[in-house]
Amino acid sequence: MTQLASLRLVSLLPSATEIIDCLGSIDRLVGISHECDYPPEVKNRAICTSARLSIHQSSGEIHQEVDKLLAAAASIYEINLDALTQLQPTHIITQDQCDVCAVSFGEVEKAVAKLTNSHPQIISLQPDTIADVWADIQRVGEILNVDWQPIVSALQTRVDTCRTQCQNLSSNPPKVACIEWTDPLMLAGNWIPELVEMAGGKPIGGVTGQHSPRISWDELIAADPDIIIFMPCGFDLDRTCIEAQPLTQHPQWKNLQAVKQDRVYITDGNAYFNRPGPRLVESLEILTEILNPQVCNYGHYGNGWTKFS
C-alpha cells in the first residue's frame, strides 16, 4: 500500500470527500470537484472539475440541458487536466453510478490516460444502498491503510438507534413521497426508500437499490401520500423552496392528503440525502424527526429541514 505520508488524494464527488474526512485523511486531500463543500476546510483545495450547464436555471431548464448533453453523448462535467497534472495525485476517487450527478468513470479514465507525470489509482464508488455506502468507506479505508471498522461501527450504531426508536410507533405507517426533482417529477430511489422505512414510513414509488423513477401527476394523486418531502438533488433549503412552489399551482395540489394535513416538508437534499456518504446518518435523523415529531428530535430543524408553506 502507498505510505500515508505520500498520499495525494483527489476527490471528484462530494460524498467521496466526506468519506475521506470521516476516515481522518482530509489533510491528504489535494484536489476536489467544483461541488465539494464539506467539511468547510476543503474549500481551499484545488478545483478539478466544472459543469457545462448553469444550476441557476429552473429545474425544467436544467433537465432540458442535461437531456441535450446526454443525447449528444457529451459529458455534463469537464475535468481540469492541467490541475490534475500539477497535483500529481496518487489516488482519484470518482463514481460509476450516475452521469448526471458527477464526472463519469469513463471521463476520469480518459483524463488519467493523458497524465504523463503521475499514474494515480482510480477508486470508483457505486453505492445503491446503505450497506453499499458502508462498503465504500471500508474499501477506501483499506486502500488508504486507515482503520475503518470503528467508523462504520459508529455510523451503524446511530442508524440502529434511529430504527429502534421508530419501531412500532404506528401500526399503519404513513405513505411518504420523497421528491428528488420537481420538473419533471421524480421520486427518490437508491438508499432513500430504505431510510424512509427505517424512519417508520412507507415509501411510495421509489425502490431501494434502484434509480429514481419519474412519476406523473396522475400517479402522485392516485398514491395520495400522507407526507411529502422535497429533497431535490443539488439544492439547499432556500432553492428547494423556490423549486417546489410551482407544484402548489396544480389544481389537485390542495386535494392531496399531505397538503390537507399540513405535512409537506423541504430538506437540504444537497447536503444530506443525495450524498451517499457518512452524512446519510443525519439524513435518517432528519426523516425520523419529520415522520415522528413527538418522539424524535436530533436538532436538524431549520438547518436540514423545515415545513413547506
Other Cβ atoms less than 10 A from the Cβ of 111: the count is 23
Element (H, E) at 290: helix 280-291
Residue ranges per domain, the chain? 4-126, 167-307
Q: What's the average model confidence in pLDDT over 5-25?
A: 94
Beta bridge pairs of residue 267: 305
Share of the chain above pLDDT 90, in %: 72
Fold observed for domain 167-307: Rossmann fold (3.40.50)
**Topology agreement, domain 4-126 and domain 167-307:** yes
Query: CB of 226 within 8 A of CB of 262?
Result: no
Categorize the per-residue pLDDT at 78 as very low, low, confident or very high, splitting at 50, 70 and 90.
confident
Share of the chain above pLDDT 70, in %: 94
| Cα distance between residue 160 and residue 190, in whole Å | 19
Categorize the per-residue pLDDT at 70 as very low, low, confident or very high, splitting at 50, 70 and 90.
low
The residue among 284, 29, 303, 62 whose CA lies nearest residue 163 is 284
Tell me the backbone φ, ψ of residue 40, rounded to 5 degrees: -55, -30
Using DSSP bridges, classify how beta strands 121-125 and 91-95 pair: parallel, antiparallel or unpaired.
Answer: parallel
| E strand residue ranges, 126-268 | 175-182, 185-187, 202-203, 227-230, 264-267
CA dist 122 → 11, 186, 191, 207 (Å): 10, 31, 24, 29
| Cα distance between residue 90 and residue 7, in whole Å | 6
Calculate the average pLDDT of the chain.
Answer: 91
**Which range among 99-113, 141-155, 168-182, 288-302 has the greatest average pLDDT?**
141-155
pTM for the structure as a whole? 0.92
Q: Tens digits of per-residue pLDDT, 48-66?
A: 999 877 777 888 888 787 7
At residue 1, the pLDDT reads: 42
CA dist 144 → 6, 115, 137, 139 (Å): 11, 22, 10, 9
At residue 16, the pLDDT reads: 96
Task: Look at residue 72 and tell me whether its pLDDT is greater than 80.
Answer: no
Cβ-Cβ contacts under 8 Å for 145 (sequence gap 6 or more) = 1, 2, 4
Categorize the per-residue pLDDT at 11 as very low, low, confident or very high, splitting at 50, 70 and 90.
very high
Q: What's the average model confidence in pLDDT over 276-298?
A: 94
Query: CB of 128 within 8 A of CB of 97?
Result: yes
Architecture of domain 4-126: 3-Layer(aba) Sandwich (3.40)
At residue 57, the pLDDT reads: 81
Cell 399540513 sits on residue: 262
Task: Look at residue 3 and tell me whether its pLDDT is greater than 60.
Answer: no
Task: Look at residue 95 and tell me whether its pLDDT is greater than 60.
Answer: yes
